[in-house]
Amino acid sequence: MENKSYKGFNTKAVHGGELKIPEFGNVTTPVFENSTFVYPNYNSGAYLDHTSNLPYIYSRWGNPTLQALELKYSELENSKHGLSFSSGMSAIVSTVLSMCKKGDRILSISDLYGQTSSFFSKDALEMGIETDFINVEKLNSGNFSGKGYSLIYLESITNPTLKVSNIKSTAKIANETDTPVVVDATFASPYNQKPLDLGAKVSIHSGTKYLAGHSDIVLGMVATEEHLFHKIHSKRKVLGGTPDALQAFLASRGLKTLGLRMQKHNSNAAEIFRYLKQEKKVKRVFYPGDPDSQFFEAARQNLSGYGGMISFELKGGIEAARNFIKHLGIPSAAPSLGGVESLVTLPVDTSHSTIPPEIRKSMGIEDGLVRFSTGIEDPEDLIYDLQNALEVI
């Protein structure tokens, strides 16, 4: 049942969107594992699908468990509407293709998640949609115009050097030409950032990460206004990136603790940052909450918490970095992020391995760079573990 009257983030997270059926007295949303529904449904009291305001027909179009998740999520984003997808990539591709057609141009930041980058530079290009890239530094300087672009695309915190995009100042410039700003806010989460409140028209998440929060599902979410909601929903129907009801149920369950988890991710990462900053074997630390960072002003203006992601460069280069992660006891070496458990990756060996070394260096990605997704374990255990592994190298 939709209830937009709750104020607090955690109350919305627990109670928002929950589908309670008085006949059953269920306390949490059931899993509607149905492909199809009775059609035509003449029941005058039928619960309506928010994507059509008609009774449900077919689960690729809409499903009650998905709707519960979408309503809960939209409350957390302070958005009129929310939509769920089978993956973050499905959410990104469906959104961009619903807003662009052949001959259109996109302005995007260059420090993108790998598959988003290849979507813009290969798949969208093959469909006649061209993308111009600018780096986050240029975006934040305000030295660009939205003129001639169908949308401006950015990520709120970039991977792996954790640059912070200034959504507020970008949206101000974009508004002069009525150019919609689309934000992938995966690294921030709606607890630390609500892009629509900052002037963006669309907020996208790889729900696989902080939203679901337990490294057990792949999912995407989109929050937006009325007009775009219907366009993006039409694209979801055609491209077929609708999640399964069980996936949606797990995401809803995860969302209930998003606020609590993010508080712990935020405070753990802040403690680890303070430790790494004074560690002699660490050359450089990347963290949105670093007051010495050139992105700190953007972080201060656009984030209410600095998140759980930290990257740091070891003085000994790639050998030291490989040796370091071998000696960590708590975090697994795995490429995802945003779960309750800490995870660690070496971008040079994983996400950025196919990029030539000189281009990697120009992006600030040195061989000894380690990306750390701080979980919700006890910070003293995490620091002890990092200390031990650093002693060995």
Ligand X SMILES: Cc1ncc(COP(=O)(O)O)c(C=O)c1O
- Give the footprint of ligand X on this chain (CB under 6 A): 87-89, 113, 155, 159, 184, 186, 206, 208, 218, 220
Q: Which residue is nearest to ligand X (CB)?
A: 88
CB of 220 to ligand X, least distance (A): 6
> Would you tell me how many other CB atoms lie within 10 Å of the CB of residue 357?
12
| Of 29 and 84, CB closest to ligand X | 84
**237 is known as an active-site residue:** no
> CB–CB of 112/155 below 8 Å?
yes
CB of 241 to ligand X, least distance (A): 10
CA atoms of 83 and 69, how far apart (whole Å): 8
CA atoms of 14 and 36, how far apart (whole Å): 28
CA atoms of 131 and 268, how far apart (whole Å): 37
Instruction: Kindly provide the b/e burial profile for residues 146-177, where b requires at least 16 CB atoms within 10 angstroms of the residue's own CB.
Output: beebbbbbbbbbbbbbbbbbbbebbbebbeee
Q: Is 188 exposed, middle or buried (0-12, 13-18, 19+ CB in 10 A)?
A: buried
**149 is known as an active-site residue:** no
Q: Active site residue: 49, 104, 111, 184, which one?
A: 184
CB of 208 to ligand X, least distance (A): 4
CB of 164 to ligand X, least distance (A): 13
Q: Active site residue: 20, 60, 283, 300, which one?
A: 60
CB of 70 to ligand X, least distance (A): 16
Element (H, E) at 385: helix 379-392
| Of 98 and 203, CB closest to ligand X | 203
Q: What is the DSSP letter of 196?
A: G
**113 is known as an active-site residue:** yes
| Of 220 and 305, CB closest to ligand X | 220
| Of 78 and 351, CB closest to ligand X | 351
Q: Is 67 exposed, middle or buried (0-12, 13-18, 19+ CB in 10 A)?
A: buried
Strand 282-286 and strand 309-314: pairing?
antiparallel
| Of 183 and 390, CB closest to ligand X | 183
Q: Active site residue: 209, 264, 322, 360, which one?
A: 209
CA atoms of 348 and 358, how far apart (whole Å): 12
Q: Active site residue: 56, 73, 113, 287, which one?
A: 113
| Of 179 and 247, CB closest to ligand X | 247
Q: What is the DSSP letter of 198?
A: G
**60 is known as an active-site residue:** yes
CB of 347 to ligand X, least distance (A): 12
Backbone angles phi, psi at 73, to 5 degrees: -60, -45
Catalytic site residues?
A: 60, 113, 184, 209
